[in-house]
Chains A and B, each alone.
Chain A
Amino acid sequence: MQYYVLIPLLPLSAFVLNILFGKKITNIFGESFKIGAHWISLLGVASAFVLSIIAVKDVMDGHVVNADLYTWITSGNLRVSIGFLIDQLTAVMLVVVTSVSLLVHVYSIGYMHGDKGYYRFFSFLSLFTFSMLMLVMANNFLQLYFGWEMVGLCSYFLIGFWYEKKSAASAAKKAFVVNRFGDFGFSLGVMLVFLTFGTLHYADVFQGLPGIIGQKITVLGFRTDLVTVIALLLTCGAIGKSAQLPLHAWLPDAMEGPTPVSALIHAATMVTAGVFMIARTAPIFNASRTAMVCVMLIGGCTAFFAATIALVQNDIKRVIAYSTISQLGYMFMACGAGAYAFGIFHLYTHAFFKALLFLCAGSVMHAMQGELNIQKMGGLKKYMPVTYWTMLLASLSISGVPGLSGFFSKDEILLKTLASGLPFSGVVWVLGMLTAFLTAFYSFRVIFLTFHGKFRGHGELTHHLHESPPSMAFPLMVLAVGAVAAGFVGIPHSLGGHDAFARFLEPVVGEARSEGSVAQQWVVMGLSILASTAGIAGAAYVYLKKTDLPQMVAESFHHLHSLLYNKYYVDELYDLVVVRLFYRISRGPINRIVDGRIIEGVVNGVPSLIAWSAARLRRVQTGVVLHYSLVMAGGLFAMVVYVLARLWKVI
């Protein structure tokens, strides 16, 4: 089993080699001989991928591994180790992470060609892969937290990859900081877990879980259910990492990073860590109904919320980014509804089609010389057929067209949500349905605006329009296969399948709360098909037939449009409430008044008080010796009188 260690270690060594010698390697082999830094990373990730496949096979054979590697921190009875837990959930994540990572690595060879930070890019990609693997392979909370923060760091590096751009640097910082807000809760959650259970190992925690159900804890004066508090604190972390409401604002900005990064980190893997974490800690959530409802509500609201924004965005990557947020909302819905397996299933299918979408967008950008505005595209179908067809497949998949992978997962989520029987599940289900419609609509809006109709961009650009190089096209095709076929591992019973995926994960996350009746299954399925087709049709009608309609709608619903277009003004709100406030408080009250005036005032005030009184007192010092002598004599007089008085017993 030792080779498991190699899965994260190989990308790590790739990172180390690359960051230390990457530049040298490029220099040694020169510009002409393009055996660049990517080979090291590629090799590392590819081997990790192969090993992951082996690991999956082992898991399928029933070899679940839970082993400690070494003790990381010891303090009192806190013993945290670095170790690996390779079970079904991990296996799925391993495949997703390594495969998408591998494809993105390949894609990046072409995409990042000629960039001066080429080696840096690949080393960070490798580092990310390592971190993500550490995250998913963790067997305790603190290691999870370790991976959690490390992927955040890589995200920071990669978003800010083009750090000369101020927007990129700011976006990177924003991503990190917003995540920190989530991590704040997460870390407290971890501590609470430790203080409650006395351990941080998943297995031990879950074992001790039944014992603490019903215990109360006082938080800020409120007596609350302990498990709920833990679960909600953990959810905090998940919200941050998975860009759910209200901590979603960083993800759209993260699109400042290179597109492969968006595909890998901000679509397929890192952002899904939140979902993974909830699934991983499923027993805790299962123990708290409140927490589950919260998660579900957050998911539903986020899904709808992000989808509405996606409707009007013109930046192709931002549309996809909001779509990602929306899809992550679905996964949260599933987890909240207790259908962790389907959350993970959606994660799994989403990884493929969303990565594909991003990579296609990257391909388009590549052709468009970095242009992102879909209003300035159009008719690219004939120039880049591979991109078009793969993107179309991905869009169909995300829209939930039957038979494609997205259909299976989304459909199941909607069904399980409705059937969960939790409070508000109905509302969330309606939101999910609406989102399904919106998803189809905006996805195809992108397709139609980008690839159909006439080219609306700058004339000269037409000469540059071309299909991407093979290194980029190949991953697209591979991912397209995934987007189409990935769902086949989880065909539900109602469609004659075996629900194999959920069965596979059952040992880890348990069964979904309720299957729902067969009728329900069919109704939901029908409705979701209806929603997706309606969406696609609507998009086709608006953007292919009545091309002036969007303009008219936007004008007639001016306020709504600008509300959506400006993303509900969330960024502005945060800027106002959080950023400005912090800065203002820091600048004014704290720096100037408390530190500058009060403390420094006291510190400098004491000496100046002394100086002031000294200035008054020094007038006594006339400088005239006669006065001094007089005072001396007076003193002598006083002394003699005192002695005399003592002698005469007056005093």
Chain B
Amino acid sequence: MIEKAFFLYFAFAAVAVSIITVTRRNVMHAVLCMLLLFFHLAGLYLLLNAEFLAAVQIIIYAGAIMVLFLFVIMLLNLREDVKKVQYGRLWFVGVIVVCGILLAMAGAYVFMVPGQRSDWTIGRIVAETHTAAIGQVLYTRYMFPFEVVSLILLVAVIGAIVLAKRQLK
């Protein structure tokens, strides 16, 4: 019961915050709303017994990615854009399409069949701690994707440096 209450709070807050995010004029406010979104999602992860994910969500999304956004917003000093038109000319088409997708997904939901349960029961995860559980799976079965992701990150780092670095004269 209390879980459901928490869920409903987190869920409604997340949706509201995300809607606010995408409709803000001021980018800074959007980012802050986004931040709130992340916190709420982290809360959801905690509800799902995924404390490591919750921490990571905060550290990486809130601590790194959003700071990066803020940094860029400040670097570009985007104060003028607030006065401009915020939506593209075809925004209503977008609305229709998105509504369509949502409806379609709702329609498809009827046919959802849950898959096979696996062996990572809640008890087991709690016993091993969540971090260890993820670590075990990640460093054994998903070693290769993990390495690929690390490579992607490396490329991203180099790419970002190359792209954003001003040519020194």
Do the two chains bind?
yes
* Residues of chain A having any CB pair with chain B under 8 Å: 624, 626-627, 630, 633-634, 636-637, 640-641, 643-644, 647-648
Tell me the bound Cα distance from A647 to B108 in angstroms: 8
Contact between chains at A630 and B108 (CB < 8 Å)? no
Q: In the complex, what's the smallest C-beta–C-beta distance from A644 to chain B, in angstroms?
A: 5
Contact between chains at B111 and A647 (CB < 8 Å)? yes
Interface presence of B107 (CB below 8 A)? yes
Which residues in B have their C-beta under 8 angstroms from that of A641?
Answer: 100, 104
Q: Across the two chains, which residue of chain B brings its CB closest to A635?
A: B97
A637 B101 Cβ-Cβ under 8 A: yes
Q: Which of A624, A626, A627, A630 contacts B97 (CB 8 A)?
A: A630
Q: Is B164 an interface residue (CB 8 A)?
A: no
Q: How distant is the Cα of A633 from the Cα of B90 in the complex, in angstroms?
A: 13
Could you say which residues of chain B place their CB within 8 Å of the CB of A634? 97
B68 interface hit (Cβ, 8 Å): no
- A630 with B94: CB separation less than 8 A: yes
How many cross-chain pairs have Cβ atoms below 8 Å apart between A and B?
A: 33
For residue A648, give the distance in angstroms from its CB to the closest CB of chain B: 8
Assess the A637–B88 pair: CB atoms within 8 A.
no
- Asked if A633 and B94 make an inter-chain contact with CB atoms under 8 angstroms apart, the answer reads yes
13 residue pairs of the A-B complex, CB under 8 angstroms, read A626-B90, A627-B90, A630-B90, A630-B93, A630-B97, A633-B97, A633-B98, A637-B100, A637-B101, A640-B101, A640-B108, A644-B107, A647-B107
Tell which of B88, B98, B108 touches A644, judged by Cβ atoms closer than 8 Å: B108
Q: Is the CB of B108 within 8 A of A643?
A: yes
A640-B94 in contact given A626-B88, A647-B111 (Cβ < 8 Å): no
Task: Check B104–A640 contact: CB distance below 8 A.
Answer: yes
Quick one: closest A residue to B110, CB to CB? A647
Interface residues on B, range: 10 to 19
* Complex Cα–Cα for A88 and B146 (A): 102
Q: Assess whether B105 is interfacial by the CB under 8 Å rule.
A: yes
B residues less than 8 Å from A648 (CB atoms): 107
CB neighbours of A630 from chain B (8 A)? 90, 93-94, 97
> Which residue of chain B is the closest to A643 with respect to CB atoms?
B108
A647: which B residues are within 8 A, CB to CB? 107-108, 110-111
Give the chain A neighbours of B98 by CB distance below 8 A. 633
Beta-carbon contact of A637 and B97 below 8 Å = yes
A636 close to B101 (CB less than 8 A)? yes
Neighbouring A residues of B108 by C-beta, 8 Å: 640, 643-644, 647
Chain B residues with Cβ below 8 Å from A627 are 90
Q: In the complex the two chains form, is A637's CB within 8 Å of B104's CB?
A: yes
Q: Which residue of B lies closest to A636 (CB)?
A: B101
CA gap between A218 and B90 in the complex, in Å: 79
Q: Please, which residues of chain A bring their CB within 8 A of the CB of B93?
A: 630
List, in ascending order, chain A residues with CB within 8 A of B104's CB.
Answer: 637, 640-641, 644
Q: Which residue of A lies closest to B96 (CB)?
A: A637
Contact check: which of B101, B105, B110 meets A633 at CB < 8 Å?
A: B101
Minimal beta-carbon separation of A651 from chain B (angstroms): 14
CA distance in complex: A627, B100 (Å): 18
For A626, the chain B residues whose CB sits under 8 A away are 88, 90
Interface membership of chain B positions 106-133, coded 1 if the CB is closer than 8 angstroms to chain A and 0 otherwise: 0110110000000000000000000000
Query: B74-100 interface mask toward A, CB cutoff 8 Å, 1 = contact, 0 = none?
Result: 000000000000001010011001101
* Main SS at interface, chain A: helix
- Closest chain A CB from B76 CB (angstroms): 18
Q: What's the nearest-Cβ distance from chain B to residue A180, in Å?
A: 71
B96 to chain A, nearest CB (A): 9
Most buried by A among B88, B94, B98, B104: B104
Distance between B92 CB and nearest chain A CB, rounded to angstroms: 11
Closest 5 CB pairs of A and B: A640-B104, A626-B88, A647-B111, A633-B97, A644-B107
- State in angstroms the CA–CA spacing of A223 and B98 once bound together: 84
Indicate if the CB atoms of B105 and A640 lie closer than 8 Å: yes
In the complex, residue of chain A having the shortest beta-carbon distance to the beta carbon of B104: A640
Kindly provide the distance from the CB of A642 to the nearest chain B CB, expressed in whole angstroms: 9
Instruction: Given contact pairs A626-B88, A640-B104, A641-B104, enumerate 13 new A-B contacts (beta carbons under 8 Å).
Output: A624-B88, A630-B93, A630-B97, A633-B94, A637-B100, A637-B101, A637-B104, A640-B101, A640-B108, A644-B107, A644-B108, A647-B110, A648-B107
Distance from B17 Cβ to chain A, minimum over Cβ atoms (Å): 22
Q: How far is the CB of A45 from chain B (nearest CB, A)?
A: 86
Taken together as a complex, chains A and B put the C-alpha atoms of A624 and B107 apart, in Å, by: 32
Question: Closest CB-CB distance, A510 to chain B, in whole Å?
Answer: 98
B105 to chain A, nearest CB (A): 7
A637 to B100, alpha carbons, bound, how many Å? 7
Residue of A nearest to B106 (CB): A644
Bound-state Cα–Cα, A161 to B94, Å: 88
* Docked CA distance A624–B90 (Å): 12
Instruction: Name the residue of chain A whose CB is nearest to the CB of B94.
Output: A630
Closest Cβ–Cβ distance, residue A377 to chain B (whole Å)? 92
Contacts of B94 in A (CB 8 A): 630, 633
With A and B bound together, what is the CA distance between A626 and B94 in angstroms? Answer: 10
CA distance A633 to B104 in the complex (A): 13
Nearest A residue to B107 via CB reads: A644
Nearest Cβ on chain B to A599's Cβ, whole angstroms: 48
Cβ–Cβ < 8 Å partners of A637 in chain B: 97, 100-101, 104
Q: Which residue of B lies closest to A624 (CB)?
A: B88
Give chain A residues whose Cβ lies under 8 Å from the Cβ of B105.
640
- Bound together, the chains give a CA A636 to CA B105 distance in angstroms of 11
> What mask results when residues 146 to 162 of chain B are scored 1 for a CB within 8 Å of chain A, else 0?
00000000000000000
B97: chain A residues at CB < 8 Å are 630, 633-634, 637
Which residues of B44-82 are within 8 A (CB) of A?
Answer: none
A132 CA to B90 CA, complexed, in Å: 93
A412 to B88, CA, bound (A): 111
Q: Which B residues touch A624, using CB under 8 A?
A: 88
Report Cα–Cα, A640/B97, bound state, in Å.
11
Q: When chains A and B are docked, how far (Å) is the Cα of A388 from the Cα of B7?
A: 137
Name the A residues within 8 Å of B111 (CB-CB): 647
Q: In whole angstroms, what is the CA distance A52 to B110 when docked?
A: 114
* Bound: A498/B121 CA distance, A: 135
| A residues less than 8 Å from B90 (CB atoms) | 626-627, 630
Q: How far does the alpha carbon of A640 sit from the alpha carbon of B93 in the complex, in Å? A: 17
Interface centre among A630, A634, A637 (most CB of B within 10 A): A637
Closest chain B residue to A642, Cβ basis: B104
Please report the C-alpha to C-alpha distance between residue A277 and residue B32 in the assembled complex, in whole angstroms: 110
Cα A624 to Cα B105 in complex, Å, equals 28
Q: What is the CA–CA distance of A24 and B101 in the complex, to the nearest angstrom?
A: 97
Shortest CB distance B95–A (Å): 11
How far, in angstroms, from A641 to B101 measured CA to CA in the complex?
8
